[in-house]
Amino acid sequence: MKSLKLEICVYNTASCLAALKGNADRVELCASMPEGGITPSLALIEQAQEILTATDNPKQLDVMVMIRPRGGDFLYDDWEFKQMVRDVEICRKAGVAGVVFGILTNDGNIDKKRNSILLDVAGDMQTCFHRAIDMSSNYVKAAEDIVNLGFSRILTSGGMNKAADGIENIKKISSLFSDKIDIMAGSGVNPDNMKTIYEEARPSSFHFSAKKIVSGGMLFRNPNVSMGGFGNVSEYDLAVSDEYEIRRAKNVIMGLERQ
């Protein structure tokens, strides 16, 4: 059996520290949780590298950086694509372990040309095709195209909103392609459902945010102003990864590996 890996989706340095202390294997570094993750700043990339790859850490964690210029769909114009190319170049220069991206054509197929260009720019970095596969028009064909392009990994919820609902599709591509690519189950994954997802679908990695909401440090709080424009998102509540939940998930994985 392949060694199962635990990836934590993080949006800030506090979550990087939680991933490190919780014994995760790698992080996916993003900005803007309400948009589902976009490219983080270079400063955050550098800080994540400093925290997670320090030589005096008991364990160094791989940093995978999201390459996504905006929220919304995965069809990009020329300027957005140029931005993605430049962001991959920046990540390569920063020395991160890998990058996460995915581009579709307007009919829901894998954009082979543009994804191939980004893969070439990434060089020997790890490359993960993210949940854009779950928005594709033909899930199995999309997975085959991703494998043939040469990606290292696929992050997927099986074409459904949550991985627990997409188990059959995850199982299908795992049975077809797990000897060629790392299949990572994500979206709605948690320590309570990981065992079921693994036993039914056999992914080789798990991805989750271990999110908890903590109160910010502001004493004065103006109830009349909302800065974000995302419904009920509060400026005074902060989303961070929970070290305890990460450790729980890692313990589940260790138990599965002992079976």
> How large is the average pLDDT for residues 51-70?
94
Please check whether residue 8 is in contact with residue 252, taking contact to mean a CB–CB distance below 8 angstroms.
no
d(CA 43, CA 1): 38
Structure token pair of residue 48: 């994540």
Please check whether residue 32 is in contact with residue 257, taking contact to mean a CB–CB distance below 8 angstroms.
no
215's enclosing H/E stretch is: strand 211-215
d(CA 227, CA 34): 13
Q: Given this model, what pLDDT does residue 50 score?
A: 96
Best CA proximity match to 18, nearest among 238, 240, 189? 240
- More confidently predicted of 82 and 257: 82
Predicted confidence (pLDDT) per residue in 212-253, tens digit: 999 999 999 988 887 765 556 678 888 999 999 999 999 999
Q: Given this model, what pLDDT does residue 226 score?
A: 77
Predicted confidence (pLDDT) per residue in 1-38, tens digit: 568 999 999 999 999 999 999 999 999 999 998 888 99
Q: Given this model, what pLDDT does residue 1 score?
A: 55
Please check whether residue 119 is in contact with residue 91, taking contact to mean a CB–CB distance below 8 angstroms.
no
Predicted confidence (pLDDT) per residue in 161-214, tens digit: 999 999 999 999 999 999 999 999 999 999 999 999 999 999 999 999 999 999
Structure token pair of residue 139: 């899930």
* Count of the separate structural domains present in the chain: 1
7 HSE (CA, 13 A, CB side): 29
**Structural domain harbouring 193:** 5-258
9's enclosing H/E stretch is: strand 5-10
Q: Given this model, what pLDDT does residue 34 score?
A: 84
pTM: 0.94
> How large is the average pLDDT for residues 81-99?
97
CATH of the domain at 148: 3.20.20.380
d(CA 30, CA 9): 7
Structure token pair of residue 39: 């490219």
Residue 98 predicted with pLDDT over 90: yes
Q: Given this model, what pLDDT does residue 242 score?
A: 95
Please check whether residue 133 is in contact with residue 154, taking contact to mean a CB–CB distance below 8 angstroms.
yes
